[in-house]
Structure 1
Amino acid sequence: MSFLSRKKLNEVPRDVDLSELERDSRYRIFSGGMKVFLTVVLTCFALFQLYASLSGRLPQQILRYGHLGFAISLAFIIYPTTKKSSRRTVNMLDVIFALAFLTVIGYFIGNFKALQLRAGEYTALDTVMAGLGVFLVLLACWRVVGPPIVIIASCFMIYGLMGARGLFAVQMPGFLAQRGYQLPRIITHLFITTEGVIGNPIGVCSTYIFLFILFGSCLEKTGIGQFFIDLANALAGWAVGGPAKVAVLSSALQGTVSGSSVANTVSTGSFTIPLMKSLGYEPEFAGAVEAAASTGGQIMPPVMGSAAFLIAESVGIPYSQLMLVALIPALLYFSGIWIMVDFEARRKGLKGLPREKLPPAKPLLLQKGHLVLPLAAIIYFMLSGFTITRSALWGIMIAALVPFLRKSTWVSPKQILEALPLAARNIVSVATACSTAGIIVGMVTLTGLGQRIGGGMFQVVGGNVFLGLMCAMITSLVLGMGVSTTSNYIITSTVAAPILIHLGIPLLAAHMFCFYFGIIADITPPVALAAYAGSAIAKGNPFRTGVNASKLAIAAFLVPYMFALDPKLIMIDGTFLEALPMILTALVGLFGIGGGLIGYINAPIESYWRLLMIAGGVGLLIPGMTSDLIGAAVILAVYFFTRRKKSGE
């Protein structure tokens, strides 16, 4: 028996109620016939998803509606209305809400072909059903995820109702002015078209996010997950925050072959997030580490997402040269995450375990080394050109079979089957968040808000380079809510890149700037698909996971300004030797910013010292000798002050 089998690192005292700590743990606990009924429904949900993935016969709209129907109706049954509501029984109102949503989904699936033939000429009943669907989605999300994202989505809807032709005949000022829409137009757009609730976020959720959550459930139920926890701790458990650092490294390496932030999150996160939680990291931080690191995979050569190939073609350089240009910013990005993970571990006292208390790596590998096959298989299939979905399906099958290769790792078939309802229950929270994110996406596409913000803000830029960069960043982030990275790059490079070039920023640097911020939208709330995927595996709050991921990825918000203001960092009109001093000062700057944001270096830092650390770090990231010297002096002063204070205690 391994060390971690005897004593879980994240063991919680029996008198602690996890529902008091995690909103997603407030689900109802049933017994008897209700427990059996819920298990059957959850299993049917999982089997529906597997059938859709294996057959490929369902139209995307039907798949998304079916996924949403299961998830939202289950949300009303599984999660109580309030924190003080009973967690043992379901009240009649929740049953009514669940049945009402199933009725809505049944209506749209049953009338799928008729709705296509109407081509937007929706009936009054279509509109009523769509309105009820949007309301119930928001209500379920408020219950499961919390009010922040629901409030933000509601504000986007209100914006769509404002304008000359809107329900509220109040015109927004300046570039925010738009034609406005009536309520029926908005709710049918949000619930019937693929630009809203059943848009890209729920599409991602209903395909490979679910499959990788099922993959993770298989690892948990077959004991493979425990093996990876044991192995990781055997190799790195002695280090400060070891498993989190393993997560950063593995996600960076995974990014070199994938190029998809969400795919990276759900694939490597199936292993790394449980490892981080086992060490003592909070779910929202563990999910954020994986989401931030996985999002960085899109800027990590050699594969940086499909938009990178468009950059090479637009700028007219070989892709091999683009890889070299992207390498330094990518390394700085992951260095920033590594630094903050280390500080967080030191702040929380997560020192790892004494080596003598850890399971020896060699005997562990000899006894259970075959359990690594599911991970090896997924990597092999991805490298072989299989789709993410097919790779996940093979991984699930191998994870279910591999424990039977040796008697010491056998599990009962019942344990394997238990992975189905477990995965279905775990997807409910992320599906409700993704469906509400789809409302935001739908309003951005309907009103053209992204392009309006971009066009309007660039009118006030004038000749200010920094202001122009800020406008490009905001435009990319807003567009990133509603479109894919590739589409985001195409639009932003068309709207924003010419302005940046006109301001004196080199062509390649301008395009890279737009590309970077389009990617970071995947972890920037309120629509943060990679963070939602990470939170689903970590069983944490999606919105807070997105906030933590944005904080961890602070380098991604700062490094593009560095190479835009001084392109020598990415070896434009310069050599690596000329870029080296900038790299070193950037690392020191990220050290200061990381310490300030976490509130710890070699000891806890008071709030005013934290602000100084952040300011000093930013100073080192600003090109120029004067700012570098001031920033370095500030960081050194705070470092030695806290060190002296700690030694004096």
Structure 2
Amino acid sequence: MSKDQNDVSIDVKGNNAQDVNKEVLEKYDRESKVRDFGSKKLFAWIVFGIAVIYSAYHLWIQFNPIPALQQRSVHVAIGLALIFLIYPTFSKQDRTKIPVYDWILFALSFYTAIYLISEYTEIVTERGGIPNTMDIVVGILAVLLVLEAARRVTGIILPIVALVFLSYPFFSHMDFLPMRLTTRDFDLGDIFGQLYLKTEGLYSTAIGASVNFIFLFILFGAFLTKSGLGQFFNDIAMALAGHRQGGPAKVAVVSSGFMGSINGAAVANVVSTGSFTIPLMKKIGYNKNFSGAVEASASVGGQVLPPIMGASAFIMAETTGINYGIIALAALIPAVLYYLAVIMQVHYRAGKRNLKGIPKADLPRIKEVMKERGHLLIPIVGLVVMLFQNLPVGIAAFWTIVLTIVVASFRKTTRMSIRDIFDAMALGARQSLTVMIACAVVGIIIGVVSLTSFGTVMTSSIQSLGAGSLFLTLFFTMLASMLLGMGLPSIPAYIITATMAAPALAEFGIPVLIAHMFVFYFGIFANVTPPVALAAFAGAGVSGGNPMNTGFQALKLSLAGFIIPYLFVYEPSLLMIDIEGLSTNATEFPFPPVTDIILNIGTAIIGIVALSSALEGFFKTFMNPILRAILLGGALLSVIPGLNTDLIGLAIILIILTINVIKHRKQKAQVA
């Protein structure tokens, strides 16, 4: 966001909006509560230097790989060290100082990796992974450091969930447990050897995805941000949609969707992009609650929007073994349907309240925007090309970062200096810490599940609750994903539900990708689901609206996001997938018949547009409650897979909208 935009955004009390938004961000996004060293430049330079080294390490290992356990332990150790320097122990603690005990934790963080690397050969070749006393001690230390770091960054809920899982193997052999939960007796060596010495605990596939893929794409996003891509998205959205009916709200949807796809940080995106778009929405007549809800819905949806889809998609690729390009392409149509639903609700709300756009004279011109910053799209296009050429994801990310630096140099306004490059490396490292620590904590859960076979028990329980019904199994899986998503960041919520709930869906013959996409969606959209809708609450903080009312408005705007997962389970052609042609290790995309794609996507689009109209009670003119209810029924029928339901739904939609158009013409004739 440009300095000018921040300068003109002043709240009613006369405070600079940047300060107000910082308070909002810290209130709803715990990871933003960091130390500010002020005049103590030495501390700032230490953090900056370690962060740059952290980024350089991830770039280096793309071409100089080391054993997975060592590579992942260094990733976690440096990340932990940075967390103990950057994040205060308590929110009200003096943020200009680093206490002595945090320097001790800083040193111990490095020790967990140094010990593992120095003992690696003996652990692997001589002891066969069987821990000795010192292994157990350092393993316990590593787990405690991870839990404390997670508490500082994400809050208390994620560590509590991990501790609940961690406690299970200590008493899982006891008689008071139900038979299906009883296991053999585990000692400290079994538990902490699993968590520390193997790639099924702290250093699991989740951390593997973090070190090999996610970090580099967060770093890529930092370089794009430094080059001014965020400003480009705002400007191009303003040029394309700013003058149209309800223009600023459509600008918010477009720009926040693009930025959300790149950075995957819903709450931070709401505050940063919303500080520009929300005042514009309020200015043309949208109320406070709706303005905040639009920004929240658009920002959250960015995590299902290709090409980057936030961090969870990379973990999905690592977990399922399916090529990332296939996952991105499969996610395209559902994401488009979701954003179509949000834009159409915004459009109908503007029509209902006669809200106009911004005069074209006050907007940037498309030609000028493209000339000034359009070249910044080249790295994104390059990334897509490389991914679909089956280039390793980490290597593709590396060359995309290089391409970003080169392309940014094409114009003086976007050119990056050496300092800008180092700043981007430090920014990317700091932004990666939330993902790293979430993946490490989830590794504790994965380790326990793997050690005790608890995942099999959970899968069986979900199947029992579903009583042999696919729909009920989907419903309970949805509830589990949403409950976790309300209290946890989207990444651990997805990993946990994918580990324990996705296998239950597989029992119904649902392909692994579809099962993972299903839990992925609901973990994300929990961010706009009251009573804990953090993205919506942040939107209310920026707009000055009521948090709970904004949450329910965001839920209404995001309703399509709760319907679409059921659609692609029952009709996989919406993902452009041929079920029988998709294998776990697929690298080539198995397309279904083109006619199936066109028919199902076409009816889904009509249904989504009708759904938006019914929710707002407006098409060309107002609808009474009875017509709205009938149109809603027709919309749902048209999106449900099946020729008969499609035909009935389309007929209902056509009749209701025709009635509405005729009513509108009569009203115009009366006015004339």
Fold conserved between structures, TM > 0.5: yes
Match of 2:202 in 1: 197
Deviation of 1:178 after TM superposition, in Å, equals: 3.6
What is the Cα deviation at residue 367 of structure 1? 3.9
**Residue of structure 2 aligned with 1:173, choices 161, 171, 178:** 178
Match of 1:79 among 87, 95, 98: 87
Give 2:109's aligned residue: 101
2:36 aligned partner, one-letter code: I
Task: Provide Cα deviations, 1:500-531, integer angstroms capped at 9, x if missing partner.
Answer: xxxxxxxxxx435x642222333554999xxx
Can you list the C-alpha shifts for 1:617-647, whole angstroms capped at 9, x where unaligned? 889878998xx99xx99xx9xxx9xxxxxxx
Once residues 405 and 221 of structure 1 are traced to their aligned partners in structure 2, the CA distance between those partners, rounded to angstroms, is 15
Rate the CA distance shift 1:556–1:577 in 2: closer, same or farther, 3 A.
closer
3-state DSSP of counterpart to 1:291: helix
Structure 2 counterpart of 1:145, one-letter code: T
Q: Residue 447 of structure 2 corresponds to which residue in structure 1?
A: 442
**Rounded Cα–Cα distance in structure 1 between residues aligned with 2:121 and 2:68:** 13
Q: Which amino acid aligns with 1:587?
A: I
In 2, the alpha carbon distance for the partners of 1:45 and 1:244 equals: 34
CA contact (8 A) 1:293 1:337 kept: no
**Deviation (angstroms), 1:445:** 2.1
Q: 1:181 to 1:379 in 2, by over 3 A?
A: same
Give 2:197's aligned amino acid.
I
Are the structure 2 counterparts of residues 463 and 354 from structure 1 closer, same or farther at C-alpha, using a change threshold of 3 Å? same
CA contact (8 A) 1:171 1:178 kept: no
- Pair 1:576–1:527, CA change in 2 (3 A): closer
Correspondent of 1:188 among 180, 188, 193: 193
Give per-residue Cα distances to partners, 1:248-271, cap 9 Å, x unaligned: 9879xxxxxxxxxx9x766999x9
CA distance in 2, matches of 1:58, 1:600: 60
Aligned equivalent of 2:151: 142
Q: Secondary structure at the match of 2:36?
A: coil
Give the corresponding residue for 2:515. 517
Taking the TM superposition and a 5 Å limit, the aligned residue runs for 1:326-365 are 331=333, 334-340=336-342, 343=345, 353-365=358-370
Matches within 5 A, 1:526-541: none
Uncovered stretches (5+) of structure 1, i.e. residues with no partner: 252-261, 299-303, 311-321, 498-509, 529-534, 565-569, 603-609, 641-649
Cα distance in 1 for partners of 2:470, 2:28 equals 45
Q: 2:28 and 2:160 mapped to 1: Cα distance?
A: 22
Distance across 2 between alignment mates of 1:159 and 1:526: 28
Q: CA deviation at 1:285?
A: 5.4
Deviation at 1:62, TM superposition (A): 1.7
> Equivalents in 2 of 1:335, 1:437: separation in Å?
31
**AA paired with 2:101?**
L
In the other structure, the counterpart of 1:496 is 507
- Name the SS of the counterpart of 1:89 in structure 2: coil
Offset, 1:436? 1.0
Give the superposition deviation at 1:99. Answer: 1.5
What's the counterpart of residue 61 of structure 1? 69
Alignment deviations for residues 329-381 of structure 1 (CA, whole Å, 9 cap, x no partner):
97466424542466589999999754332211112323444333322322332
Q: 1:475 to 1:214 in 2, by over 3 A?
A: closer
What is the Cα deviation at residue 209 of structure 1? 1.6
Contact 2:560–2:608, Cα closer than 8 Å, also in 1? no
3-state SS of paired residue (1:140)? helix
**Alignment map for 1:32-47 (pairs within 5 Å):** 32-47=41-56
In the TM superposition, what are the counterparts of 1:172-571 in structure 2 within 5 Å? 172-173=177-178, 175-179=180-184, 181-238=186-243, 239=247, 241-243=249-251, 245-246=253-254, 278-280=276-278, 288-294=300-306, 331=333, 334-340=336-342, 343=345, 353-407=358-412, 409-458=414-463, 466-467=471-472, 481=495, 496-497=507-508, 510-512=509-511, 515-525=513-523, 553-559=561-567
Query: Deviation of residue 72 (structure 1)?
Result: 1.0
Instruction: Write the distance in 1 (CA, Å) between the matches of 2:161 and 2:629.
Output: 29
Distance (Å, rounded) in 2 between the aligned partners of 1:196 and 1:344: 45
Structure 1 residue 140, shift from structure 2 partner? 0.6
| C-alpha contact (below 8 Å) 1:127/1:184 kept by paired residues | yes
- Aligned AA for 1:427? S
Alignment check: 8 A CA contact 1:381 1:391 kept? yes
Say whether the 8 Å CA contact 1:244–1:341 is kept in structure 2.
Answer: no
Name the structure 2 match of 1:505: none
Q: 1:195 to 1:589 in 2, by over 3 A?
A: farther
In structure 1, the partner of 2:31 is 24
Matched, 1:587 2:608: yes
What amino acid is aligned across from residue 38 of structure 1 in structure 2?
A: V
Deviations 1:39-75 (A, max 9, x none): 111111111111112x232222222111111111111
* Shift of residue 199, structure 1, vs aligned partner: 0.9
- Measured after TM superposition, the shift of residue 208 of structure 1 is 2.1
Cα-to-partner distance string for 1:293-345 (whole Å, 9 max, x where unaligned): 349989xxxxx9899999xxxxxxxxxxx99xx99x97466424542466589
- The CA deviation string for residues 142-180 of structure 1, in whole angstroms up to 9 with x for no partner, is 11111122221222222333322xxxx254325444445
Q: Structure 1: how far apart are the matches of 2:255 and 2:335?
A: 14
Contact 2:175 2:182 in 1 (8 A): no
1:585 to partner: Cα distance:
8.7
Moved more, 172-181 or 86-95: 172-181
Output the CA distance in 2 between the equivalents of 1:71 and 1:355: 47
Would you say the 8 A contact 2:209–2:318 is kept in 1?
no
Cα distance between partner residues in 2 of 1:577 and 1:345: 25
Which residues of structure 2 form unaligned runs of 5+? 11-15, 279-291, 311-315, 485-492, 527-533, 540-550, 573-577, 579-591, 621-627, 661-672
- 1-structure distance, mates of 2:630, 2:143: 46
Kept in 2: contact 1:382–1:391 (CA 8 A): yes
Quote the Cα distance in structure 1 between the aligned partners of 2:263 and 2:398: 13
Mapped contact 1:205–1:430 kept (Cα < 8 A): yes
TM-score, normalization by structure 2: 0.67
Please give the alpha-carbon distance, in whole angstroms, between the structure 1 residues aligned to 2:454 and 2:425: 40
Partner of 2:94: helix, strand, or coil? coil
Q: Whole-Å Cα distance in 1 between the matches of residues 242 and 596 of structure 2?
A: 39
The equivalent residue for 1:132 is 141
User: CA–CA distance in 2 between the matches of 1:492 and 1:550?
Assistant: 26
Report deviation, 1:406. 3.6
Q: Deviations over 1:379-431 (max 9, x none)?
A: 33233332222222122112222233344544433222221111111111221
Call closer, same or farther: CA 1:182–1:393 in 2, change over 3 Å.
Answer: same
Evaluate the alpha carbon distance shift between residue 96 and residue 306 of structure 1 in structure 2; reply closer, same or farther with a 3 A threshold: closer
Query: Per the alignment, do residues 515 and 97 of structure 1 end up closer, same or farther by CA in structure 2, a change over 3 Å counting?
Result: same
Contact 2:460 2:504 in 1 (8 A): no
Distance change >3 Å, CA 80–CA 372, structure 1 → 2: same
Distance 2:434 2:170 in 1: 28
SS at match of 2:61: helix
Letter in 2 for 1:148: I
Residue of structure 2 equivalent to 1:259: none
What amino acid maps onto 2:115 in structure 1? Y
Q: Is the 8 A contact 1:289 1:337 kept in 2?
A: yes
Question: Is structure 2 residue 5 aligned with structure 1 residue 7?
Answer: yes
Corresponding residue number in structure 2 for 1:316: none
Query: What percent of counterpart residues are identical?
Result: 24
Deviates more, 1:450-459 or 1:63-72: 450-459
Q: In the superposition, relative to structure 1, how do residues 138 and 557 fare at CA in structure 2: closer, same or farther (>3 Å)?
A: same
